Structure 1
Amino acid sequence: MKNFLAFILIFASKHLFACGFYPYGEELRFSFFNPEAFGYYSYSEFDYSSNSFEPKDVYRDFEWQPNERLWLKYSGNKVSVYDIRKVLDEFSADDINKKSANKWIQYLYQTKDFEALHYLKFAKNCEFFNSWMDDPWERNEVMALPKRTKLLNEAILLSKQSQKEEIRLRYTFLAIRLAFYNQDFTKIRSLYDTVFKLKTKNNILDYWSLYFRTIAEGDASLANFYAAQVFVNAPDKRFMIAQFFDTKVPVQSVLRHAKTNEERANVYLLAGIKKHDKSLEYLQKVYQYNPNFEGLNFLLLREVNKMEDWVFTPYYSLFSPSVETNNFWDDEEISIQNIFKRVETDRVYAAEVLRFVNQVDLSKVKDPQFWKVCKAHLLFITKDYTSSLSLIRELEKSTEKSGELQKQLEIIKALNLIANQEYGKAVISNEVKAVILKNKEFKKFLFALGRELEYKGNTSDAALLYSKMNDNELTEDHDNYNVAYWRTIKNKGETYSDFYYDYFDYINIMYTPKQMEDLLNNIFKNSKAKDEFSIWKYALLKQQVPDLYDLLGTKYIRQNNLQKALTNFKKVDNVFWNEKYSAWERNKYNWDGSNIFDANPFYELKYTPDFIPIKDTIRLTKTAITNQLIQYIAKAENTKEKDRDYYYFLIGNCYYNMTQYGNSWMMRRYTWTSYGNHSPLEDEAEYFQCDLAKKYYLKAKENAKTDKFRALCLRMIGRCERNRLEYLYPYRYDKEIEDYGKYIFGKNKYYSDLNTAYPKDYGKLTSDCSYFEDYFKSRR
């Protein structure tokens, strides 16, 4: 069973496409309200999570468990609870003897409590046949054995013979448990109903026995009622008993069995916990019947965590809430629009929960401060930042200056302070800086702050916080889910990878050249500051200034603003170019060699024999290529230049090579992509359609002096047009490749023009690239 549960958890934590990883579940969920901060540890198996099944130890080592407390009371508080625990957890029947050094065993022998000693030995002999530690689900999987039947009958007999009520009940519980593993539900009902049911005061033995009685009950409504009472009163049985609570049974039919308000509240609590959607009605009912109830507080905490997922996960990441199944094949833009609509709907629901919290009489509830903290967070969720901050300031005065609760308040306060600013004026205040430094390993918190800043127009500080998603300085107990994945509204459904976890990939797609310039100016202006926050904030990006100038220049290439591209490329030294794009050096940048400039974009074409003599040899870098391109354009556009056709042709080659089909695609991209994998970059059409290359080949044709060179120019124009058509009419899998090729070929106007104007050259130029050299030499 343990292995099976581990498999479920591992499978749920990683959702895989057939082609690779895609974030899922807890990896996506945004939550700033940590349940561990509020002390409801015994309910922790039911913390809101996308992991539906997650059994945990509900008692911490320093906590006394109910059974230990019961034995301690039985022993008159004369021994240590740790001695009792050692016997219960570690001793065998043979270890219970007069020579034992254990203080509890010594006490029982000293008081001549042989009845208790005999019971302990008997219980230890039963463990092999009914051990819950090896079967946390308590399911009917063990076959009835003669030995168990013998022990069952002996337990019943010993129960009847016992002189002490406490020991009699313990023997009866053992009998009920043995009957369960014998699948004797009739015996369970009989034993429970005659021994435990009529008791007026209940302890843990009653609820442990009721657990098995619940499973043996045939009436679904009564079983649900029993389950709810076990759930509240036996924390170590909560995970198992919750599986037997049938949510299809109407709550009203379950309530027929309740005699007290506490029992009614217990029913509504478990029903509310089992609900994965809105549970406000159940919160209200639990409050109505038992306001001073720890379970009510936990149900509120769980509801707040739900609203965090429903609001923050989509608001910050643009993913659907983590508990939903993402439909990855929906139209992306429509899907994201729907996500934003849902965020606003869920903020309205958060306001409804907030109204309920405001109506609660805090003098009646358990831990009024907890309710105030929840209220502060609900005010933030509903965007009432001013009221949230005011309440947080009040709460901070009454909480300890350290500890989890204070940490929660500071996190919510920091989010409020960033969000509660005008667009264009958002900054990271000193108060927020202090909170960030305390929580610098909480990546989703950092990302949320960055997102708020970005939404407020401060894209520079946003990028600096996003850079911390790349920070690997994590503690040993780092939460595996403490990682941010996010999408953008620009991505379309056909994008192979529509999510981000790296700041550079994100700003590559989303940031404008102006935003990049602002970021670089911010780094130059502030990165030398010696305060702790600045040192932390700029740690990565001040080392990556060359990468940022490379990116800025690349963005200007995408806009065909060559002069600005060159200006920024010149700010990068040759060491960087050699390491990142050169075959002469190898390091982290080009581990697979895919982004190396290994061919001159003006004179060489992929999959084409060399046909142009290289006259201007340059060491290939983005700077050199851009500079050369500017020079060639100047020459080609000079009306006094006699070789304008030649330079226009070289320019066309360079622009062609800067597309998907060329040898210098890295002038526009950081990874090569095919036309089956679209990106939201502004030059996407140019990258696949070769429009600029076609423009300059046309100019070369217009300035050509010979028919053979004009024919070669038409051939190159036709190649660009074919790429454009394949981009606009992508390959259809219901057609044969050959038929599809003919379809695209037939739609190509320029190949038709080539065939019409130069029929004798058409066959050579369209069937064999080796003729290109002859046609190029015929330029004069």
Structure 2
Amino acid sequence: MVFKIYPSIMRIFSSFILLFFFQVSFACGWYESAETSRLALFKSEREGFLKLRYFCYSANSFHEVNMVSNKDQELNCLEWQKKIGSKVTTDDIHTILYETDSDQFQAAYHTNTLKKVFAKNTFIATLLLPKNKSFFDYLVFAKQLEYNNVPNSKWESWNSIKSYQENGNTVALGSYNQKILKAKDSFLKQRYAFLILRDRFYNSDKAEVIRLYDTYFADNKNTILEPWALYYKALCIDDFPLQNYLLSKVFASCDDKSYAVMLHYNFKQTAATLNLAKNDEERNMILILESLRNPAPDLKTIKEVYKLNSNSVYFSFLIQREINKLEDWIFTPKYSVNKVPAVNFDEMSWYDNYEKAKEENFNKDTYYLRQLRDFLISIHAKVSGEQKDFMASAIAQLCFIDDEIDLGKKYVAMISDEANASIQMQKNIQLALVALKQDNLQDEKTQNKLFNYFNAIEDLVENDNSLLKNLYSLYRIASNEFSKQGDKATAGLLFLKSDLKKEGSDSWYYNPSFYSYTGYFERYATLDDMDNLIALYQKEDKTPFEKYICAGTTAPDVNFYKDVKGTIAFRKNNLAIAYQVFASMPASFWQKNYEYRNYLNENPFVPKVLQKEKERKFNYRFNKAEFIAKLIELKKENTAASNLQLAHAYFNVSYWGNSWMMLAYDWSSSGGENYSDYVYGEDNHDAEMKYQNSNYYRCTLAKMYYEKVLELSKNKEEKALASLMIFECNYYDYYGIFAISDTERMPFKSGEEITDFYSLYSKTRTFKQYNCPLLKAFIN
């Protein structure tokens, strides 16, 4: 998550406050990174993709990875095994070279306890044999140098390690050269040479780096050390096209330096770099490097790469990137809260005229999708093995993005049962999409199929949490499809499941709160939806699918949902249902949950607008059922006095009153978007405008009851108060339209009520209590 400072005033009682229980009235805003909200469903991979994961399509500069390739380390261990004997296991070699801290190794060496400390390690046992002394001496020297390379993290151990360095804290260049020259074995010569080359690089001795590479590696490339050494040589060359060319050779030859290569590759030298390529293979690698950093449509390059090597893993990876681009351009605006792609080249074009830009970009992206799909279909029969399964998966995904479900099913069926686990996972995602798009989602068989598909993917997340992005995307689409088929209960649970996966993949821990469990439903559910949700919550013999969607998404208390149902009923002025629901809840609920105790804590029958700040008391014990019962009773009485209380109550449950939380779960000082708007993807202002026949913002019901007071009452005090409050309702109606919305401002025109207040009722106690010079200024 990212915090950002905005210049505008935020909602004083934003749901950010209510969800996380601290107050932020100004400046500090909340937003998600574009990468967090980006949708991505396609994750088919081939063997060899691991080194490329940094370059998956991403809104960030580079994709975050949770696993990296250790292929180079394995190759180095194999080289050692080949040199000193097959009885030494590569695991033991790896343990010493890559897992053993230099402190630990040197301490054991200088106390002659290597055999004891590494008692079961075949690598150490073999190196300690007299015949392998030269190899052992190299390892000791390498571990000594390893210690020298990170002195800042070793300062606390100087005393215990004693003096392991030659000539102080560094090893002199002459010592290096002497060790290289004394080494009789070419294996050791190269390894000593690599150590000095790397040391000289970090000491900015470019000429020596180049000399060492040319002397010991240029004509002897049959080692994993060669591309490592070439990487350092490349960075010592000032000719950028040549540097690029050498870096492309490093990228092609090893995994370990792939990310580092991309950090240094100069993308402004494309043509000059291509001119240095000696053959199609080298030209192909340069094209691939260029494409790996291209966020725009890149089918032209992909076709060139295919011509040069149709079975290339790099070609497959570029296809994955291209599909992820299309998912971002098409899915992210459709299903995410941002409504624009995560990677956006011209942001202003979206905001100048969003609907126009959205349509134009959708048409353009769909056309490009079909070009890419048709190309892949044309080559599908020409590829084989893992590549063929990958291509079938890719074509199917493009079909599903374009809602070509039947054609997508055809290619899903072509994925063999022997396809790797990644492609099989993608197949489950695609079969889930088929069911979501074509089947009756209320059918138990369909739901069981979905459960199996979802569950199969969930099982893989434990070993690869990068799949959380795919689950977030899949559940977001699933939520949308259930919603379209009228099942808001399931849709809401899937929406929260999607959010949990999204937040779980980010850098902070997401703990659902009251509003997390209820937010979707208070915005989108009907009373029937809430009945279905409550019934599902209380159902004892849930199906596997029902258990699955409820796991981690349902509130800890069914009364969370009852409160939402009662609130929806009250918004619709259905007092009977609202009372029935609230009366079925514990009376203590509103004292113990959410922020009710902090925002439903004043007398709802005393208009907030008439109270001075020092007169307000916040110790009222609010009970929603009792409040609704009181309204029902007052309506039955239908007297001037009862209508006055009703009017006060409806004013207070409006946006402007002290009991707004009877209708809403957050409050805004500006009417702009807040945290909950961000989570659910739209400004809720239009929906709020309809609460209680527009009473929430426009005080329509409050005004109606105040007008009844004028009609029924013969008491000047009541009439004076009703006249004053009608004026207040009119003013807040005006203020709500022109201050909260974007409507063009018009001058406020007061009605006759304020005139009557200053003429007919000027002798009343009410007039004396509430008269002020500002009020009189509104008389037209």
TM-score band by shorter chain is 0.7 to 0.9
The answer (yes or no) to whether the contact 2:599–2:661 under 8 Å persists in 1 is no
Q: Structure 1 vs Structure 2: percent identity of aligned residues?
A: 24
Give the counterpart of 1:297 among 303, 316, 322. Answer: 316
Tell me whether 1:531 sits opposite 2:543 in the alignment.
yes
1:179 counterpart residue number: 200
Distance change in 2, residues 1:196/1:589 (3 Å): closer
Give the counterpart of 2:303 among 276, 284, 307. Answer: 284
- 1:239 to partner: Cα distance: 1.8
1:449 counterpart residue number: 478
* Structure 2 CA distance for aligned equivalents of residues 383 and 731 of structure 1: 39
2:244 counterpart residue number: 224
* Structure 1 CA distance for aligned equivalents of residues 114 and 448 of structure 2: 65
Tell me whether 1:459 sits opposite 2:488 in the alignment.
yes
Q: State the TM-score, normalizing by the size of structure 1.
A: 0.76
Deviations 1:103-160 (A, max 9, x none): 345545658355544443443443345569989xxxxxxxxx9879964344345445
Give the counterpart of 1:664 among 659, 663, 675. Answer: 659
Letter in 1 for 2:189: R
Tell me whether 1:683 sits opposite 2:694 in the alignment.
no
Residue range with higher mean Cα deviation, 223-232 or 149-158: 149-158
Tell me whether 1:435 sits opposite 2:464 in the alignment.
no
Residue range with higher mean Cα deviation, 429-438 or 252-261: 429-438
- 1:209 to partner: Cα distance: 1.2
Distance change in 2, residues 1:628/1:712 (3 Å): same
2:720 counterpart residue number: 711
* Structure 1 CA distance for aligned equivalents of residues 151 and 74 of structure 2: 16
* Structure 1 CA distance for aligned equivalents of residues 37 and 305 of structure 2: 31
1:407 counterpart residue number: 425
The answer (yes or no) to whether the contact 1:185–1:216 under 8 Å persists in 2 is yes
* Structure 2 CA distance for aligned equivalents of residues 73 and 323 of structure 1: 49
Deviations 1:360-384 (A, max 9, x none): 3643676432222222222222222
- 1:205 to partner: Cα distance: 1.7
- 1:215 to partner: Cα distance: 0.6
Distance change in 2, residues 1:765/1:271 (3 Å): same
Distance change in 2, residues 1:481/1:227 (3 Å): same
1:649 counterpart residue number: 644
1:769 counterpart residue number: 770
- 1:729 to partner: Cα distance: 3.5
Q: State the TM-score, normalizing by the size of structure 2.
A: 0.76
Distance change in 2, residues 1:590/1:364 (3 Å): closer
Residue range with higher mean Cα deviation, 48-57 or 373-382: 48-57
* Structure 2 CA distance for aligned equivalents of residues 556 and 501 of structure 1: 18
* CA RMSD, 1 decimal: 4.5
Give the counterpart of 1:724 among 720, 724, 733. Answer: 733
Distance change in 2, residues 1:621/1:587 (3 Å): closer
Letter in 2 for 1:170: R
In the TM superposition, what are the counterparts of 1:477-488 in structure 2 within 5 Å?
A: 479-480=505-506
Give structure 1 stretches of 5+ with no counterpart. Answer: 1-12, 136-144, 486-499, 611-617, 637-643, 733-739, 772-780
Give the counterpart of 1:310 among 299, 306, 329. Answer: 329
3-state secondary structure, aligned to 2:608: coil
* Structure 2 CA distance for aligned equivalents of residues 470 and 428 of structure 1: 23
- 1:469 to partner: Cα distance: 5.8
* Structure 2 CA distance for aligned equivalents of residues 258 and 148 of structure 1: 43
- 1:418 to partner: Cα distance: 0.3
In the TM superposition, what are the counterparts of 1:357-756 in structure 2 within 5 Å?
A: 357-360=376-379, 362-363=382-383, 367-395=387-415, 397-399=417-419, 403-421=421-439, 428-439=446-457, 444=472, 445-466=474-495, 468=497, 479-480=505-506, 502=516, 504-511=518-525, 513=526, 516-521=527-532, 524=535, 527-537=539-549, 546-560=559-573, 562=574, 565-576=575-586, 578-581=587-590, 586-590=591-595, 592-596=597-601, 598-601=602-605, 604-606=606-608, 608=610, 621-636=623-638, 644-674=639-669, 676-677=671-672, 679-681=685-687, 682-683=689-690, 685-705=694-714, 709-730=718-739, 747-750=749-752, 752-754=754-756
* Structure 2 CA distance for aligned equivalents of residues 528 and 128 of structure 1: 62
* Structure 2 CA distance for aligned equivalents of residues 673 and 378 of structure 1: 42
Letter in 1 for 2:564: L
By relative contact order (CA 8 Å, sep 6+), the higher-ranking structure is 2
The answer (yes or no) to whether the contact 1:520–1:548 under 8 Å persists in 2 is no
* Structure 2 CA distance for aligned equivalents of residues 376 and 724 of structure 1: 53
- 1:580 to partner: Cα distance: 3.1
Letter in 1 for 2:545: F
- 1:247 to partner: Cα distance: 1.4
* Structure 2 CA distance for aligned equivalents of residues 192 and 676 of structure 1: 66
Distance change in 2, residues 1:337/1:133 (3 Å): farther
Letter in 2 for 1:306: K
* Structure 1 CA distance for aligned equivalents of residues 328 and 509 of structure 2: 15
Distance change in 2, residues 1:537/1:85 (3 Å): closer
The answer (yes or no) to whether the contact 1:27–1:481 under 8 Å persists in 2 is no
- 1:449 to partner: Cα distance: 0.9
Give the counterpart of 1:155 among 176, 181, 202. Answer: 176
* Structure 2 CA distance for aligned equivalents of residues 316 and 483 of structure 1: 23
* Structure 1 CA distance for aligned equivalents of residues 510 and 66 of structure 2: 25
3-state secondary structure, aligned to 1:360: helix
Distance change in 2, residues 1:369/1:414 (3 Å): same
Deviations 1:318-342 (A, max 9, x none): 4256744799999989547745654
Aligned length: 690
Letter in 2 for 1:229: K
In the TM superposition, what are the counterparts of 1:81-96 in structure 2 within 5 Å?
A: 81-89=90-98, 90=100, 92=105, 95=109
The answer (yes or no) to whether the contact 1:605–1:662 under 8 Å persists in 2 is yes
Residue range with higher mean Cα deviation, 210-219 or 390-399: 390-399
* Structure 2 CA distance for aligned equivalents of residues 422 and 99 of structure 1: 67
Deviations 1:210-268 (A, max 9, x none): 11111111111111111111123221112222111011222x22111111222222212
2:617 counterpart residue number: none
3-state secondary structure, aligned to 1:287: helix
The answer (yes or no) to whether the contact 1:660–1:674 under 8 Å persists in 2 is no
- 1:506 to partner: Cα distance: 2.2
- 1:519 to partner: Cα distance: 4.8
Residue range with higher mean Cα deviation, 181-190 or 500-509: 500-509
* Structure 2 CA distance for aligned equivalents of residues 634 and 647 of structure 1: 9
Letter in 2 for 1:520: D
Tell me whether 1:189 sits opposite 2:210 in the alignment.
yes
Give the counterpart of 1:49 among 58, 62, 65. Answer: 58
Give the counterpart of 1:256 among 238, 252, 275. Answer: 275
1:29 counterpart residue number: 38
Letter in 1 for 2:272: S
